[in-house]
Amino acid sequence: MGHASPILDAAPLTLPATGGERLRDGHGRLITDLRLSVTDRCNYRCVYCRTGNDGAQFSELPLEEYARLLRVFVLLGIEKIRLTGGEPLLRAGLLDLIREVATLKSKFTPQPIDIALTTNGHLLAPMAQGLKDAGLSRITISMDAVDPETFTRITRVPGSFERVQAGIRAAQAAGLGPVKINCVLLRGFNDGQIEAFAEFSRRESVIVRFIEFMPLEEDRTWTPETVVPLAEIVARLNRVRPLVALPANHPSETARRFTFDDGVGEIGIIAPVSQPFCGHCSRVRLTSDGKIRTCLFSQFDHDLIGPMRRGASDAELRKRIQGIIEKKEARHHIGEPDFLKPSRSMVHIGG
């Protein structure tokens, strides 16, 4: 690959002589979707994610190490890469990493690698055009309330609502639309906003995706009662206007898609708690400290950075990744008596 990028010039890569196998887990699921956390720092303190304290230790790898790992994953058939965090826009050099990923090509599909980003949007307005120009395909912006006061109560950062609105507008202007808006519903915090979000989707031409709250928060406040389940969201939206189901874009799509009876607006509902979709899971995660997580709810991480730094070749890394993916969990056990909270919280895993 003819790279002119500062990242790979700093870390020349060895291409395998022969093509690798596609990644498939022990349950026969094809793994095509990688989420990379480029930092576990965040500038928000969302109540459903982080503690209010500032004392945490953070860990990040040099971007060239992420670039090399991404390259190895693409050789294994990864087609979609989502950059996340922590807050990915805090990461210096992010545009270089996106430019780098945009040069990668899959042997298994003629399509370019789909590069997506999940952000809280706080720093987005001045960066949106640069992200698009670097090669970003799609963007998801987290926004947990349409009402500024409720929003600030969740993020615990004054002025955050206006910053995120500016970020959404800038992303649309930069051609990163249709923008997806992620809203984690928390009973007692923002479940009163469901109807307002329906109007927001219709008015602003964004896809609003409601996410059921999962037990991945630092403060360990999750109980089944805090979850607003899919059935309740659907019932509430139907009172705004009748909902019409839309077909899935992809078999492993996490969201159930809907529009309204006039075709205006789009709503997604991601219901890992009340309607798990593990059977179609195509995802694997790489934490900001270079560890594979085969499931959000894993009890263990699998280190890649140690072997890489000790000199493992790309072929050796591919073999290690294949061995780890082979043992991917069949499903999560949220809500079951044997459920164990995962070893890390969302901000440290990468959402």
Binding residue count for ligand SAM, defined by CB under 6 A: 20
Is residue 216 within the footprint of ligand SAM (CB under 6 A)? yes
Is residue 211 within the footprint of ligand SAM (CB under 6 A)? yes
79-118 mask for ligand SAM (x: CB under 6 A)?
A: -----xx-x------------------------------x
Is residue 167 within the footprint of ligand SAM (CB under 6 A)? no
- Min CB(87)–ligand SAM separation in Å: 4
CA quadruple 302, 106, 296, 219: dihedral positive or negative?
positive
Is residue 74 within the footprint of ligand SAM (CB under 6 A)? no
Q: E strands within the chain?
A: 33-37, 80-84, 114-119, 138-142, 180-185, 207-212, 243-246, 255-260, 266-270, 283-286, 291-293, 302-303
- Min CB(346)–ligand SAM separation in Å: 4
- Min CB(120)–ligand SAM separation in Å: 4
Return the residue of 42, 47, 154, 269 that touches ligand SAM, per CB under 6 A: 42
CA quadruple 160, 162, 167, 172: dihedral positive or negative?
positive
Is residue 227 within the footprint of ligand SAM (CB under 6 A)? no
Q: Measured from the CB atom, is 79 or 217 closer to ligand SAM? A: 217
- Min CB(232)–ligand SAM separation in Å: 16
Instruction: Report d(CA 270, CA 265) in Å as an integer.
Output: 17
- Min CB(22)–ligand SAM separation in Å: 27
Q: Measured from the CB atom, is 265 or 272 closer to ligand SAM? A: 272
- Give the alpha-carbon dihedral of 270, 275, 279, 284, to 10 degrees: 40
Sheet holding 114-119, edge to edge: 243-246, 255-260, 266-270, 207-212, 180-185, 138-142, 114-119, 80-84, 33-37, 283-286, 291-293, 302-303
Residue 122 burial class via C-beta count within 10 angstroms: exposed 0-12, middle 13-18, buried 19 and up: buried
Q: Which residues pair with 269 in a beta bridge?
A: 210, 256
Instruction: Report d(CA 218, CA 194) in Å as an integer.
Output: 25
Q: Measured from the CB atom, is 25 or 87 closer to ligand SAM? A: 87
Instruction: Report d(CA 222, CA 220) in Å as an integer.
Output: 6
Q: Which residue is nearest to ligand SAM (CB)?
A: 351
Is residue 351 within the footprint of ligand SAM (CB under 6 A)? yes
What is the 3-state secondary structure of 60-118?
CCCHHHHHHHHHHHHHCCCCEEEEECCCHHHCCCHHHHHHHHHHCCCCCCCCCCEEEEE
- Min CB(142)–ligand SAM separation in Å: 3
Q: Measured from the CB atom, is 84 or 201 closer to ligand SAM? A: 84
Is residue 168 within the footprint of ligand SAM (CB under 6 A)? no
Return the residue of 214, 227, 271, 295 that touches ligand SAM, per CB under 6 A: 214
Return the residue of 32, 39, 106, 120 that touches ligand SAM, per CB under 6 A: 120
The footprint of ligand SAM (CB under 6 A) covers 42, 48-49, 84-85, 87, 118-120, 142, 182, 184, 211, 213-214, 216-217, 346-347, 351
